[in-house]
Structure 1
Amino acid sequence: MLSILKAKGIDNIVMRYMGTLSGGLDQQSISSARFLKMLGNKNDLTALTDYARVQNLEVFFDIDLISERKNTALTTFSGGETINEETSINSVLKAENNNSHAAPLKNLKNNVSAALSLLEDRNVSLVDVSERLYSDVSYGLTRQGAKEYINESCRAFGANRSIMLSEPALYLLKGAKYVSSLPISAGVAYDGNITAIPFLQIVLHGTIYYAGEPLNFSGDLEYSVLKCAEYGCMPSAVLMYRSVRADYITYYVTQSPKLAAIYEKMNAELSDLFAQRITGHTKVQEGVYCTEYGNTSLVYVNYTSSSVEINGLTLEAGDYMRVN
């Protein structure tokens, strides 16, 4: 699939490979997990990582370290989730955490060792440790102690590989290169007296790369693309190689043309800004915002249904533009 996406002009790909270990999307304990044979053998896995390296792409493999899975009602086959015609991949991903419970933290260092042995030198996407934090009084750890213990244990992953976090766990950010899901909307309802601002994005931009909600999971694709432009997010999508009849939004054949068009414009206009610090964010007028970068570039975003004039330039409705 990577070669097909590249053929469509999507060159700068960072891939988070989900569900590759025993249990699939409902990963079994990492201490006994293995790469799923249904995805190929060891040579196939090596070929994938070698291809990505040669093509200057990055592939990250999802790992859960502190979760133990409960029995799930979802159908399983050879240890992996089977998504049938009545099952939506989006619903599976949202339900995933409901099938797990917290594992004793005393097992963490052994689990890290097991993950390192399994991954070898491959990049890692840390999932559960970036999404949850809990105390373990049986092991003498408060939440603060657990945070320090998890942070210390996970440093081992940074020795010869890159790290991705599925969520922006602040205490793990120092060693990470990417965050695959950063919030792009306010956590509370807001009205005319409250305005959402990209506070966390301003703090992180230029020090770590991040994406927002997968574009093909958004109920409003145009709005989500504009949010990416306003908040400095890398565009992202969840794709599957095989068609799932109940969920065409993840089938790469139907999604890749529109994603390629989004990528082409964003890559041409904004790609060199991902490494820049955000130095300002202002509301120009109702529905129009400006994000300023450290190299003096400005990105204007128009959420309204009418074109607007900005310093002699026309910004079309539902569009963004870069100045400088």
Structure 2
Amino acid sequence: MIEVDRHGAFGVNSVGLERVPFPLTFSVREVEGSWEVTAAAAQGSELLDLLLRSSREEVVVANLATNSFMDEDYRSWTPSEIAADQGAACRVHPIGDWAAGAIELGEELLVLDRSVMPRFLDGSWSPYELTLVDVEPGLGAGQLDELALAIGTARAREPMLPRLPGSRLYFSGHDDCYVLVETRDADLPALLFGRLLALMAGSALHGVRGTPPGPDGPTVGVPEPDRALAERLIGRNPHWIGTVTQASEDGVHIALGALERSWRLGERPERTDCTAVLDLGTGAWRLADGESAG
């Protein structure tokens, strides 16, 4: 069971001037011994527990940009200032003396124990750029410089984990909506797919229940599908798009269409290959084409 906030990614993001609700999108591929997932729509905080389940003990915040923390002169706070305000203990590694203008990162890296990451991302703030990578504990200054250089000079869509020896997880979030995950955990792609289904269902239930406006509106508890359901979908096709077709106090239906390649912004579902159904009475998920939730 997860708690879905009314201000989650599916609740606040839309596509185009018509503000069409965001579809669920998911793609996975295997690359050089790891798995790459691209997906939408999800905030980093909505996936954090899954990301940390297979990460090493320390996590580096390698890139961070947000409009949520600004001073009276509209200067964006540094990552270390945000961490201090959040009460998240971290080690700060400056890179601005050599990286400024040379690589596409900020002026500092943060190194946090993975147990501190939920506190760091807690609250209503939203990063429009967020890059996380797990690392072996106790990396020195030179090793952190090498990590920053590897991330900051990577070409677009170049797999990152092969460039980061010792790392098991790489996460890049854009607009707190678009997700890129690389992982060495074979179970994580299906868990992420299942989480997206639950997040979309929770967002739809907020609309059904008419949660009150305001930043402190209630959350909706939603059961997640069994990992086997997502694994069967991935086994059938690596690329999917989904939209809510029915939502009530009885449950939620999400129509899923298989794509030939990963989703592109603006694409809408053209057909329904199966429907993921959440029965709120039993708390079970199933596929409407006859496969059970397991």
Task: Give the TM-score category using the shorter length.
Answer: 0.3 to 0.5
> Please, what TM-score do these two structures have when normalized by structure 2?
0.33
> Please, what TM-score do these two structures have when normalized by structure 1?
0.31
Larger Rg: 1
Q: Which has the higher contact order (CA 8 A, sep 6+)?
A: 2
Query: As a proportion of its length, which structure holds more helix?
Result: 1
